Structure 1
């Protein structure tokens, strides 16, 4: 959806399609009709923005075949859909039965990651609406933190330098954003500033994921101010929220329902006790409060005695809209299929309804901040 700020500038709000298990071109087209069009119709929107996730084989096919790129653009337009941003974090198989650490592979030391991201940039350049100011691609924050050393950082830096050079040669302005995440080489705002200062380029910046920011117990106002002071562009924002619990001992049974096998659910206490997955936290005696990297639907109240990091979501959006130039916002709740059964959609219509409700909630949040 296209919104307008107080100065009349366009702000793009999309939902991320990495919630759908599409691994080939036909799968991408199918998800448009199964989910994106019903979401647009439920919202009453003339045009719906999609943060497309294209698995590496699809991105390669599109990059190699101009006629296929043209077809995808036409298929989007015919359905009242548009794309200004791609999610280039997962490489492929993001909805496999078990993902966990595989989502960080290949990392930025591997030439496959560079090739994939350049493929995405080529594809996005053709998908961008003619009047779009620029495109954006979010990517992983270099790598999982282990193993990591100076040599691996040098390899990653060389590839990011090559990426920046490739983006500079592109036909449309496209920026790539490192997305800090708990447990990764770059997980905090300070680490993002340090990493991007080493590969300074107008084509590279940061993607602020508000659930990740919450899990790091970072103050969103301070985080946005740090990025601005360092001259780091906020290229994209993931509009998301984490689970939060004040007293883990009183909530272990409820929390156990979120300890599912597909994704990592990094857990952090306010006292900086760190667990790479929720089962490890549940086996500990770490006191609360905790925040858990489980993207909870934006509009839905979490199951008592849990809550969500909604305060970080609201304060983060306000800070980003007033203290950054970011105009690409993407609702990224990829966890619908692994929610506890009582909260999980049971069919395509239920998922479309949930995504539409999230986007309506986000649209209301923006309207309250003067962006509508």
Structure 2
């Protein structure tokens, strides 16, 4: 199943989702021309999820059906505004130490239970616990308690016939950066056995590529650990090689966090944001100019780069060749609005539909 995430469309309130985002979803559907109902990866802020009344939620579910769409998953990662002037580290807050994160996720569970088609497993993607520098071992009991509260809600939902997986989304700079980190974390967490199938991963191709991960090894580790791959998010990262580092500056913008990893020989080292990596250039020496840089900046997956920069869309092709068959595929290129002007497609709807077209040969 292939969808796209509506976090590419700015919307903070339920009114904005219903009046501004949904018409764009239908435009995308019209361009993609799916065979059968069109799956939509819906992003709702905490404000939108709390603000929708039971009547409005039921009406929206019926409108989805009439429009030939359905909701298999919700994006519950960013709690607040995701298209403000500066998002950066605030995208992870409140994190899993906070009851606010529990309440937000509970609202999403309530809605997805209503909208999820019968006999379909749904998912809610969420932050990978929190930003690494903010979390200490002393926080882990509260994290475990909060996760358990949500998983118990999901157990109740599954018993009522609506199975939903909470999908942690590893990201550079967070407590869980990789699939391997998630495996180790869940081993330490020691969840009750009956709840383990309800906690899975949202495998983000851009995040994994930035960290030079091996998707075959990642999926093998997850399978061995019994961790479900609920969703795979599809977008490319930026690749900068050799003497093109000056081009990296065009991706240094103030809204989102652009974690950067430099590969030198057999090792890698990372920076919390692209600006920090660029400021380090004088201290890197000749080696820093010759090795590969990967930058967390979600590029349209059809973008092959140019003479100045490359992309990691080959990593997406590798992921698709070894993906678990049950995983939902979701295009997620939320950074369209901050793409450098000379490489940003003129039409958002055209850009999304071209991403669907790029993927078809791999499906």
So what's the TM-score if we normalise by structure 1?
A: 0.89
Mapped pair 1:114 → 2:102: yes
Of 285, 293, 298, the match for 2:296: 293
Aligned to 1:246: 241
CA distance in 2, matches of 1:309, 1:326: 24
Offset of residue 289 of structure 1: 0.4
What 5-or-longer segments of structure 1 have no aligned partner? 1-11, 367-372
Aligned to 1:148: 135
CA distance in 2, matches of 1:163, 1:195: 17
CA distance in 2, matches of 1:227, 1:78: 38
**Cα pair 1:251 1:306 within 8 Å, conserved:** yes
CA distance in 1, matches of 2:18, 2:25: 10
For 1:237-276, what aligned pairs fall within 5 Å after superposition? 237-247=232-242, 250-270=243-263, 271-276=267-272
Offset of residue 83 of structure 1: 1.0
**After superposition, what is the alpha-carbon deviation per residue over 1:28-47, rounded to whole angstroms, capped at 9, x for unaligned?**
11234542111111112253
Mapped pair 1:353 → 2:356: no
Aligned to 1:134: 121
For 1:183-222, what aligned pairs fall within 5 Å after superposition? 183-197=173-187, 198-200=189-191, 201-222=196-217
- SS of the equivalent of 1:202 reads helix
**Cα pair 1:267 1:276 within 8 Å, conserved:** yes
Offset of residue 242 of structure 1: 0.8
CA distance in 1, matches of 2:216, 2:329: 17
Instruction: Say which is worse superposed, 103-112 or 149-158, in terms of deviation.
Output: 149-158
Offset of residue 89 of structure 1: 0.5
CA distance in 2, matches of 1:326, 1:256: 39
Of 317, 323, 328, the match for 1:314: 317
CA distance in 1, matches of 2:37, 2:228: 27
**Cα pair 2:9 2:21 within 8 Å, conserved:** no
Count, aligned residues: 344
CA distance in 1, matches of 2:302, 2:12: 28
- SS of the equivalent of 1:335 reads helix
What 5-or-longer segments of structure 2 have no aligned partner? none
CA distance in 1, matches of 2:250, 2:356: 25
For 1:14-163, what aligned pairs fall within 5 Å after superposition? 14-45=3-34, 46-62=36-52, 65-130=53-118, 132-163=119-150
Of 261, 272, 280, the match for 1:284: 280
CA distance in 2, matches of 1:345, 1:300: 10
Moved over 3 A (4+): 31-34
CA distance in 2, matches of 1:205, 1:325: 15
Aligned to 1:6: none
**CA RMSD between the two structures:** 1.5
- SS of the equivalent of 2:203 reads strand
CA distance in 2, matches of 1:176, 1:362: 26
So what's the TM-score if we normalise by structure 2?
A: 0.91
**Cα pair 1:205 1:234 within 8 Å, conserved:** yes
Offset of residue 125 of structure 1: 1.0
